[in-house]
Structures are given as structure tokens and as C-alpha cells.
Amino acid sequence: MATAPTPPLLGDPPAWVVVVNGAAGRQQGEDLAATIRHAVSAAGRQVSVRLVTHPGELGMTAVAAAAQARALRGLLVAVGGDGTLNTLAAAALDAGVAFSAIPQGTFNYFGRCHGFPADPAEAVAAVLDGCLKPVQVGSLGGRIFLVNASFGLYPRLLEDREAFKQQWGRSRAAAWGAALLTLLGHHRQHRIHLQGVGPDGATVERTLTSSTVFVANNRLQLEQVGVPEAAAVEAGALVGLVLRPMGRGAMIGLALKGALGRLGEAEDVERLVFRRLQIEPGRPWWRPHEVAVAVDGEQTRMRPPLIFSVAGQPLWLMAPRERE
């Protein structure tokens, strides 16, 4: 019989150690830091706020802030998009401290799925009145993901989206424009071998050709594109989407189905529910040394095999209380 996860120790009331990602705009970051500092102090809580103004500083700042939160028996709070939340959540898991967020990204799937308000002041108030709960985390090769991780076409889409952001700004319209540009381009097909274990313990093994494998750990994102297995994420599993070979026109049609919340109707998408999935890209006589992957909107490279799984430990999240 599995033992229940043990929550981290928190002070009464817990101090806040906040990391604000201001790399996208220093003035906006300073304003957010001031708003949070004032609101938390006014509530009688000890608060320390760190502002990151260069992307390369985020990882080291996250580790230092997590160590401070552990020493104070406090709460590590991330302010930024899903990539920022991922970095701080990983630091919280490593340090064994509680985590929370003031989401500020374009889509904010993690924040919206867990009931965080979009307005920073309202989000601070919701966390001050929040409750601690364990949240499932995904893992790709030992690197955690809160929302999704992928291999193949999706990392390239993120690269195009970043270029669009530089020219057109950070918006959902720019994100969709980048997606369209990617889908109209060349789609490299990968020969992949899948070997996995489903939520019921049954093994799954097959070889197929695909342009991308997308693995989700977020019910809201799956629901929005119309994947009927979305609820499996909250039942201890991950959901994988594997795209079968298709032309540009079919790919555009698939994107439209996703935008209309009808991806579950697509015959060109194979859906998998699992707790662990191992992927071997390439042919049996040739395996790439590294492949591009995306983890919560951030690109990186990893050596195969790629192993997607439910992480062994949950993330302890200070989340807003559910309202009627």
C-alpha cells in the first residue's frame, strides 16, 4: 500500500520568497515586485523579492531562493510564464519546499488550471488565502514539466513563435501566426519506437512514423483542443498525442480542429494514456546523438531514449481555494 506524500514544513504564517522574471521588461518586473512586496507585507507576512532581469540568471536565482525558502520554512513563489514556473517548481522540488505562482504568461495553462487569477493583486490575495495540495508533475529524462513536453515538430513551432514575438509582441495572435508558419513548412518524419506502461500496468509497444510526439500533463490544455482523455491527467496518468504522417493541408486542418476543440475527432492523431513512455527516435541502424525537445515552452536537446513519465514525487502547491 502506497504511503501518502508528506507536505513540507511551513511557518505560521509562512514567509514568502518571490522570484520575478523581469527579463521581458524591467519596468514591468519592478512594478510587479513592488505590488507583491506591498501586498504580502500588508498581510503581515515576511517577504523577500528577487527580480531577474537576464534569462541566464533565472536558474541560479531559483536555486538560491529555494534554499532561502527552506531555511525560513517558507513558500517559494514564481512570477512569470510557464517556463519561469517550471524553473522555480523544479527548484522547489529539489529543496523540498512548498511552491506557488503569480502567473504572467501568454496562455498560463498551469495557473488557469489551478484557479489562479490573471490579475497579480488578485493572485496574491488568493495565495495568501490558499491551501496546500499535492500536484502531479511530469518528467522527461529527469527534467520536470508542469504543462507539456514534446519531441519533433513542436520544438520548431516554439522557435518560430519566439521569432514572431520579437517582431509582433507577446500575444495569442502572434502565437497562432507562428504556428501557421511552422505548419506550412517542411515536416520531417521520424521513425520512432514506443514502449510504455499504461495506467493499468499494461505494456504498450509499437513502431511508427510521426512528425511529433506531444505529452500533456494539463487537463485544461487537453480539454481546450478537444481530447476526450483529458481527465486522465488528474487520475495519475499522462496523455500523449502522436501525429501520423500527413501533408501540409491536412496539418492545417488538424490545427483548425484543435482551435475549434475537436482534436478528438482527428483520425491522424493517435492518443495514448500512460504513466511511462520510452521513445527511441531514428532507424535501428542509426540513432541521433541528441534531439530537440520542448519542456513547458522552453527548448533544449536530450540524448535518446526519451523517457516521459509521471514524476515520483508531487509538487506541493499553495493554490487558491475552490469557490462555488
3-class DSSP string for the chain: CCCCCCCCCCCCCCCEEEEEECCCCHHHHHHHHHHHHHHHHHCCCCEEEEEECCHHHHHHHHHHHHHHHHHHCCEEEEEECHHHHHHHHHHHHHHCCEEEEEECCCCCHHHHHCCCCCCHHHHHHHHHCCEEEEECCEEECCEEECCEEEEEHHHHHHHHHHHHHHHHCCCHHHHHHHHHHHHCCCCCCEEEEEEEECCCCCEEEEEEEECEEEEECCHHHHHHHCCCCHHHHHHCCEEEEEECCCCHHHHHHHHHHHHCCCHHHCCCEEEEEECEEEEEECECCECCCCEEEEECCEEEEECCCEEEEECCCCEEEEECCCCC
Residue 185 corresponds to which cell in the numbers above?
Answer: 513548412
User: According to the per-residue pLDDT averaged within each range, which of 74-78, 80-84, 147-151, 176-180 is highest?
Assistant: 74-78
Please report, rounded to a whole number, the percentage of residues in the chain having pLDDT higher than 90. 56
- pLDDT tens column, 246-278: 776 777 777 777 777 888 888 888 999 999 999
Position 204 confidence tier, pLDDT thresholds 50, 70, 90: confident
Residue 173, pLDDT > 50, answer yes
Residue 166, pLDDT > 90, answer no
Position 1 confidence tier, pLDDT thresholds 50, 70, 90: very low
Position 157 confidence tier, pLDDT thresholds 50, 70, 90: low
Mean pLDDT of 25-47: 91
Instruction: Please state whether the peptide bond connecting residue 13 to the residue before it is cis, i.e. omega within 30 degrees of 0.
Output: yes
**pTM greater than the 0.75 cutoff:** yes
Q: Which residue has the higher pLDDT, 115 or 201?
A: 115
pLDDT of residue 256: 74
pLDDT of residue 34: 93
Residue 170, pLDDT > 60, answer no
Domains observed in the chain:
16-129 (3.40.50.10330), 144-310 (2.60.200.40)
- pLDDT tens column, 52-98: 998 889 999 999 999 999 999 999 999 999 999 999 999 999 999 99
Mean pLDDT of 195-224: 90
Residue 187, pLDDT > 90, answer no
Residue 192, pLDDT > 70, answer yes
Mean pLDDT of 123-152: 95
Q: Which residue has the higher pLDDT, 208 or 245?
A: 208
